[in-house]
A and B are shown apart, each in its own frame.
Chain A
Amino acid sequence: MLEIHHNSKLSKCGLHCAKLKSENALKIHQVLGHRQSRRFATMNSEDFTSKLSYAGSSGYTLNVEERASLQTSLPILKRNLKFSRVNFWGKVFGINRDYLIAQGFGSDHFGQRKSFCSHDGIDWVQLPELDSESIRLTEAIRGRLTGDPSTESFLEISLDGKIRLEEQKTPSSEANEKVVSENEDEEDEENSQKPPESDKKSNKTVIINEEKRLAYLISQIDKDTSVVPRGAFTIGSQHEVRENHSFHGLTVAQSTELAYYFHLRQPEKLPRKTLLEREGHVKIIDFADNIAEDVPHVTNVVTIRSLLWPGYFAFAVSNSPVYGSVYFGFGEKNDDIGFLL
């Protein structure tokens, strides 16, 4: 109480007085300032463990071992590849093994972002960038992931452009070793793109490995979700999208309304100009009423759940700049959503 009073008096005294008298207040605010610089940011490498507890109502979490290993490996990843921020993205379940996913960002949130996958949370493998052709092909693959990045899906493309999934199989142990040793070599990918000799003249077969599928899934989930509270991100002076340092959280009433959350992604539905006027955010349009006014062990945490991508959870703590999102799921889109509502 004393602090506040003190400050308001100072502000009226003009510059010189302020300089002298605020010394008293300085120490206290230094601590606050330090905290402030760390608390904004979503599930980044520094604070994802504490954020995970907010996502507790999702029912999924990381075990102590995974947390510990991520805490070790993410800062190294951030440093080695010169990211300004590394986020823990989530976990994609496979039949045999699970993938932990992390994402690295540059200074602009909409700039280049790179995704990494790992089995143990220590060794990270960068996921490939996809061209439009392989995106089209990968889209046709349905079903669970196996957990082995080298699992190949054989796609048959008929003359009229229809894509059909023929079979999925994991290469034999020898081939497997090769892939592991070469570690995502560019050549390997090109080879896999080459259609092997097929008997039919009209149809050709293309192989897509699970690594590509994973990259595709992550980009799709990012596109359809990436939920942030309104005002959390802003446009900087260089027209770059960055976190809003003056975001103090939504009020309790606001936090339970979907209109106060946005998809943080490249604008799709509005012309760019309007978008800049609206502080660089697109409204959530894709999924209606999926807000779960859910009360986990921390009060005032609002959880938003994607019905389109079961397993995606976003949370926001009302009246505080804490928010984040995480994905724990099988990497399958809910194609039946029309029947389920």
Chain B
Amino acid sequence: MNENSWMPLFILLSSLVPGLIIFTLSEKQRALRTTLNMAGATIKLLLIGVLIWGVLNGNVYETRIPLLPDMYLELHADALSVLFAGLSTVLWFLTTIYAIGYLEGSSNRSRFFGFFSLCVTATIGISMAGNMITFLMFYELLTLTTYPLVVHRGTSQALRAGNIYLAFTVSGGALLLLAVAWLRTIAGPLHFTETGLLSVYGQDYRIELITIFAMMIIGLGVKAALVPLHAWLPKAMVAPAPVSALLHAVAVVKAGAFGIVRVVYDVYGVNFALELGVLYPLALMAALTIIYGSLQALVQNDLKRLLAYSTVSQVSYIALGTAIAGPVATIGGLVHLVHQGLMKITLFFCAGNFAETLGIHKVSEMNGLGRRMPWTMAAFSLGALGMIGVPPLAGFISKWYLGSGAMVNGQLWVVVVLVLSTVLNAAYFLPVLYRAWFLPQEGPWPEEHSQLHGSRLETHWMLLIPPLVTAALTLGVGLFANSSISPLGWVRLITFREYGL
């Protein structure tokens, strides 16, 4: 084994080890816990940086640990895994800062940060899994480590949300497990292979492969919040804001969407999937989700619920891009993996700031907020406009490629879906911005936290910096989309490899 084969393992350990140590700490060891957290996040960030550089230069990073005869725990860094791992690592770093500030003074912080680190470990495992078995293991691990975070507050509402979350994700995982086991009996170890590995079995196992595909998509669709399997997500918004960020942008829904991408591109292969005819139903399901999520978001007054439904809608852009097929749409779908993450985490950070600083949870309480918290509100506005798809923000680039990709394939109906989605996004985000910037404040804020009085900043700096950074990134990745270091540039690279161009 050379250093390249240790690299993926190190990246996993950089959050696993701090996480395990944090469990053993007492509540009072705040400084040590913070140091461990930040050290883990920083080391992971550096390692991922090295990894990206290496993958760009064609290095192979692979860790293989035998589990059973002919079954390996396989970590492998290809261009696609680096996309997801990079996103998770950067956002985890920011979320850690945010969570430290957010949970200041609350109880059970060791438990929280312990699971927090495990959760990210699982996510990185998912991104770098080299075969379906490894993917499945980390996928289940993610379910289990997220549960304690969802119920962190311990209220009856939180416990109920946790139950629903478990019911959905565990049964989804079970279905996925069945499908993977079945597929293994047909096709062996299921290494993820660019351009797919199943086309040779197409002749003999057509019906089996179609059924397995359906089972896999439904299993993964739970986490990716495809309608009608999305109902756990809006319930889970009772969790603290950093957990919401984790659920919506960094880990959980992304894991589902990423899984769909893996199955379509690296297990079935996009051309083979097209040939089987399984992509069209997936596209329909994604389109339905996009519209349904937006319609639900339209009638929410609770800000976090609104954002949750917006996630339901936006994450399906990824599935849609995957399902339309063709390089251009693929670029749109994959790049949205990153873009949606940046925009949505910005919005959740901001929602958390409003709640923590002024006790604002509802849209109807946001009148005049732009004057009181201009920086947070500016970040929120960038995130919201990005979601609508206003150029030059991140969401626009995704939408542009999705729309163009659909037209390249002659699928006008997808453009209609995108147009509808844009209108609906505008219909639920613009009124929020209108309230905050153009209406005067009505009465005192619901619950203004007094310790921030007299501070020059509008809120605690640890809460303020992360949304500003992600908002700047939302602008940057769109404005500088054509530069070689942008997510778009990286996604083009992936796409060329997936299509063997």
Q: Is B one of A's binding partners? A: no
Binding site for A on B (CB under 8 A): none
A interface vs B, CB < 8 Å? none
